[in-house]
Structure 1
Amino acid sequence: MSGLTVVIAPDSFKGSASAARAAAAIERGWLRVRPGDRLVLLPQADGGEGTLEALAAADPAYHWHDTPPVTGPDGHPTPGRWLEAPGGDAIVELALVSGLPLMAAPDPLHAHTIGLGEVIRHALAHNRSVTVGLGGSASTDGGAGLLVGLGARLLDASGRPLPPGGAALADLARLDLSGLARPDEVLVLTDVDAPLLGPEGAAAVFGPQKGASEADIAVLEAGLQRWSEVVGVDPGQPGFGAAGGTAYALAAVLGATITPGAPQVARSTGLVDAVAGADVLISGEGRFDATSMQGKVVGHALGLPGPHRRIVIAGEIALEPSGIATWSLGVLAGDPAYALEAPEHWLGLAGEKAAQSVMP
């Protein structure tokens, strides 16, 4: 077998390698074994970390915009960036300005999304339609901070502005939207279908990932409950719990449409057509398990019509679907910790192994 067309379309390996770096490392390994193949690199995302990078890498017509520093999730300044699509829409990514990795230490009660609102406000000076990628949030503030960044005011019973963060929302008496900057259209990309409240909601399910204790979760749940009462929109709709409830503010106050992120990014990057004409598809992520097949990048890619040979490379493999070849970086390294220390080395080795597996 020679002259294969190979599409390499991983998600990010969170905490170790971006989707673009992972794809490049796999490519290097593959070409060491099969230098005559045609490799197409299309790093993917689902609205979370790496979404803007994936879109920009796929099409040079996307244009980056840098903003003045915005308010990070811990109140410290952080760089602001957004992406202008070829059609003129603005695309922003929560993880870049309000993400957990920006925190020196988790602060589940006080972290916020003000910076995301500030980036959107900068983008509105150029573009009235905005796509928001949600994922990797540091906070559980229901998107209240985002609205503050857009000019809203959250007031207590004495008319004083609330401090940032989800814990303060329990004292919310009034939401003043008179100064709110509103996009004409908002599209939200996410892979989360959780509601805002309850045992499957933003605080209970995702709070622990942001450092929340059981006591913290109760505080955050009470704040989100009060937030939904003041906003006045049913918090039970699927997806409202995404990114600590940020999707709720975007949909309930700004009228956003929530859509699965992986298919949207796949269409925008040309993955669907590329896979249809390929001989081999390689996708991957940090951990490949049953949840990977439920609307995430890898599951969506594997479900596209196209090549007979499909390969998954992941830091950890906890699922072995029929007909899918899998390579675990942790197994190749002999220890998951070793794989994390040099992810691109092991991604390259996995690329070699994958290429050897298609040799006659």
Structure 2
Amino acid sequence: MKILLAPDKFKGSLTARQVCDAMTEGIRLATPEARIIALPMADGGEGTAEVLTLATAGAWLPVPVLDPLGRLIEAFYGISSDQRTAFIEMSQASGLRLLQPQEYNPLQTHTFGTGQLILHALQQGVSHLILGIGGSATNDGGTGMAAALGWRFLDNQGEPLRPCGGNLTQISRILPPAQPLRLTVEVACDVTNPLIGPNGAAAIYGPQKGASAEEITILDKGLRHLAGLIYDQFGIALAEVPGAGAAGGLGAGALFFLNATLKEGVKLVMEQTHFADHLPDTDLVLTGEGKFDHQTLQGKLISGIAGQAHQAGVPVIALCGTLEAHPEAIAALGLTAAFSVLTHPQSLDEALSSAYQAVRQTTFNLIRLFYSSSERA
């Protein structure tokens, strides 16, 4: 029996790698002769860079960068073993998780540190970049990132501006770097918000970054001004592009400053890990994530895994901590079944601390059931 393991992390308790390890132990107890392929996965959000680095037998590199408020920190990114591809998450350098709640200030935060990570990767000789842009603390349209890569933003006196959300309206001219970027870039982006307007970056995501109603108006005006300058100077229209509003406008910034392509996170990860290549002669796929709810049904990892495996005729079983999906929804995804690993009432702390053993035990039980059913068939 060949079993393919393709879980996401169980947020707050287990990494995707640890979920694979727990599943493997449960399978070995149930059927020692099984052939197991462990493929830790991610949905394009937090943890994606680490998963892709692991999948390519790469290295995880530390880099001194500036955080969203300009303080020196150590951030990390991955580089594949062939040195061709870098895996970067903007949240490592420019994420909301780097700030205390009282420090949230999208008028002042910037993505300069993300640009520093990209610059470091370029200096290693990479030719391809996969960039995750979830968890942003910023609303600068990617200008901070661009500044780290040599772009300059001048006011009406010809003086350089500090690129941040609150300064966007003061930009009078954009100057590209002397050398064009020699890099192909794919951005994991699951949102479809435009850059500006009632569904744009500032209006939808500004409040969670600390912006007041008045500040949202300022930020939206700044992004609108930036988009207008880019159109006037370079003839590129970004304001209404789906996904341009992701990460405080970093979606638009990646499109323009990096000439990037925006792609659905799950599909990008599945392509990079060659998930489909492992499906031939697979008898069962085990996937999972911490919480299986309505978001799972709207394009997250389990949905992507189930869809592709179902097309190949391979049954898929999902494990999770919290199971909120109804049977009809589980069947509609193409899953054979979904199980919560929680077997009795527990506090959150207890559930998190016992997650490894719970995944191991549940995997053992379902493999015994699946294996005996297969034998009878």
2:35 aligned with 1:23: no
For residue 75 of structure 1, the aligned residue among 70, 79, 90 is: 70
SS at match of 1:222: helix
The more displaced of 136-145 and 80-89 is 80-89
Given that 1:280 and 1:307 are in contact with CA atoms closer than 8 Å, whether structure 2 keeps it comes out as no
For residue 279 of structure 1, the aligned residue among 254, 270, 283 is: 283
| 2:360 corresponding residue in structure 1 | 348
Given that 2:3 and 2:34 are in contact with CA atoms closer than 8 Å, whether structure 1 keeps it comes out as yes
| 2:321 corresponding residue in structure 1 | 315
Deviations 1:148-181 (A, max 9, x none): 1212233334444444532332333332324576
AA matched with 1:116: T
Given that 1:278 and 1:306 are in contact with CA atoms closer than 8 Å, whether structure 2 keeps it comes out as no
2:165 aligned with 1:166: yes
For residue 10 of structure 1, report the CA deviation from its aligned partner.
1.6
Q: Distance in 2 between matches of 1:112 and 1:133?
A: 16
Taking a change above 3 Å as real, the CA distance of residues 213 and 357 of structure 1, as seen in their structure-2 partners, is farther
AA matched with 1:78: E
SS at match of 1:290: coil
| 1:193 corresponding residue in structure 2 | 192
Aligned residues: 355
Q: Distance in 2 between matches of 1:342 and 1:159?
A: 60
Q: Distance in 1 between matches of 2:68 and 2:172?
A: 23
For residue 58 of structure 1, report the CA deviation from its aligned partner.
2.4
For residue 294 of structure 1, report the CA deviation from its aligned partner.
3.5
Given that 2:238 and 2:244 are in contact with CA atoms closer than 8 Å, whether structure 1 keeps it comes out as no
Q: CA RMSD in A?
A: 2.9
Equivalent positions of 1:1-360 (< 5 A) are: 4-60=1-57, 63-64=58-59, 66=61, 68-76=63-71, 77-84=73-80, 86=82, 88-105=84-101, 107-109=104-106, 110-125=108-123, 126-178=125-177, 182-232=181-231, 233-304=237-308, 305-306=311-312, 308-320=314-326, 321-322=330-331, 323-329=335-341, 334-336=346-348, 338-360=350-372
AA matched with 1:134: I
Given that 1:45 and 1:262 are in contact with CA atoms closer than 8 Å, whether structure 2 keeps it comes out as yes
Q: Distance in 1 between matches of 2:324 and 2:212?
A: 27
Taking a change above 3 Å as real, the CA distance of residues 275 and 248 of structure 1, as seen in their structure-2 partners, is same
TM-score normalised over the length of structure 1: 0.85
Give the share of equivalent positions with the same residue, in percent.
Answer: 33
For residue 123 of structure 1, report the CA deviation from its aligned partner.
1.7
Given that 1:131 and 1:187 are in contact with CA atoms closer than 8 Å, whether structure 2 keeps it comes out as yes
Q: Distance in 2 between matches of 1:350 and 1:212?
A: 44
Bigger Rg, which one: 2
| 2:234 corresponding residue in structure 1 | none
Deviations 1:260-301 (A, max 9, x none): 232232122121122343222122223323332433322111
Given that 1:167 and 1:219 are in contact with CA atoms closer than 8 Å, whether structure 2 keeps it comes out as yes
SS at match of 1:14: coil
Deviations 1:52-90 (A, max 9, x none): 322232233xx3263541112232222343313637233
For residue 184 of structure 1, report the CA deviation from its aligned partner.
3.8
Q: Distance in 2 between matches of 1:353 and 1:244?
A: 45
TM-score normalised over the length of structure 2: 0.82
For residue 353 of structure 1, report the CA deviation from its aligned partner.
4.3
SS at match of 1:250: helix
For residue 303 of structure 1, report the CA deviation from its aligned partner.
0.4
Where does the alignment leave 5 or more consecutive residues of structure 1 unmatched?
none
SS at match of 1:151: coil
Q: Distance in 2 between matches of 1:286 and 1:217?
A: 33
AA matched with 2:275: L
For residue 311 of structure 1, report the CA deviation from its aligned partner.
1.6
SS at match of 1:286: strand
SS at match of 2:252: helix
Q: Distance in 2 between matches of 1:209 and 1:356?
A: 45
Q: Distance in 2 between matches of 1:15 and 1:141?
A: 29
